[in-house]
């Protein structure tokens, strides 16, 4: 569409120049070269015009090349960051799955050594997940500034899904560490009950993070747009 506008503008300008040139009264002597000095000046002027045109074309091509290389580099960074975030989020899914299946037990009835064997490593992994999310959000901030918010919003589904996983884990950790008799224990248990119902409804209780399709489904639109950008900038 933009190229058509440029073509029509060029045609209009060419017509105007022709009209103006045709209205200028000139004699046949105007086209005669008086001496060799005038001939060289004509060639020099023509060479200058040609050089300016070639330089303009070269600058335009260079700008397109630089823009294409920048888009390709950013597209690769986004692809790598998204893949990394999805992989770490699958680990969070497995931890959340473990959490919702354990809240049925009271603290005293949890298997011996469970806290030391599972809870502490899970808490450390949740911190790593938050760090991975921060890195991914930083990339999306750059994407929003360069490609616009529409592209960055394609990952909102994934971010919302992982926020649910993190919320489930935080409720589980607080439920585990709550002191007997605290009124908050019921609030955490109710929260875990809702997450358990969500996992049960989606049949996530029998699948691992790498087996569910949600991670890929939620980024399908972003993956297609990213693929187009990578191909266009090659």
Question: Residue 105 has what pLDDT?
Answer: 63
Tokens 């918010």 sit on residue: 149
Question: Residue 47 has what pLDDT?
Answer: 58
Question: Residue 27 has what pLDDT?
Answer: 46
Could you say which residues of the chain have pLDDT below 70?
Answer: 1-69, 104-115, 179-183, 232-234
Question: Residue 7 has what pLDDT?
Answer: 47
Burial profile 37-60: b = 16 or more Cβ within 10 angstroms, e = fewer:
eeeeeeeeeeeeeeeeeeeeeeee
Question: Residue 127 has what pLDDT?
Answer: 92
Question: Residue 62 has what pLDDT?
Answer: 43
Question: Residue 26 has what pLDDT?
Answer: 47
Tokens 């300008």 sit on residue: 13
Residue spans of the domains in the chain: they are 71-232
Question: Residue 31 has what pLDDT?
Answer: 47
Look up residue 97 and give its two tokens.
């799955």
Question: Residue 17 has what pLDDT?
Answer: 43
Helix 36-102 / helix 120-146 crossing angle, nearest 10 deg: 150
CA 38 to chain centre: 60
Question: Residue 212 has what pLDDT?
Answer: 92
């Amino acid at each position: 569409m933009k190229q058509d506008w440029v073509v029509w503008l060029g045609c209009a300008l060419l017509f105007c120049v022709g009209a103006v040139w045709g209205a200028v009264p000139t004699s046949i002597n105007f086209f005669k070269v008086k001496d060799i000095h005038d001939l060289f000046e004509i060639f020099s002027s023509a060479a200058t015009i040609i050089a300016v045109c070639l330089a303009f074309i070269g600058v335009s091509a260079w700008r397109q090349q630089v823009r294409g290389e920048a888009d390709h580099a950013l597209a690769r960074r986004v692809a790598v960051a998204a893949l990394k975030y999805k992989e770490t989020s699958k680990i969070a899914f497995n931890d959340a799955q473990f959490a919702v299946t354990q809240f049925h037990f009271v603290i005293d009835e949890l298997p011996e050594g469970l806290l030391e064997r599972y809870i502490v490593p899970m808490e450390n992994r949740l911190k790593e997940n938050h760090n991975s999310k921060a890195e991914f959000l930083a990339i999306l901030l750059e994407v929003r500034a360069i490609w616009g918010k529409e592209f960055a919003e394609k990952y909102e589904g994934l971010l919302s899904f992982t926020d649910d996983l993190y919320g489930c884990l935080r409720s589980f950790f607080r439920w585990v560490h709550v002191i007997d008799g605290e009124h908050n224990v019921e609030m955490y248990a109710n929260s875990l009950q809702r997450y358990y119902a969500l996992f049960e409804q989606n049949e996530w209780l029998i699948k691992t993070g790498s087996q569910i399709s949600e991670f890929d489904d939620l980024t399908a639109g972003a993956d297609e747009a990213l693929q187009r950008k990578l191909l266009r900038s090659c």
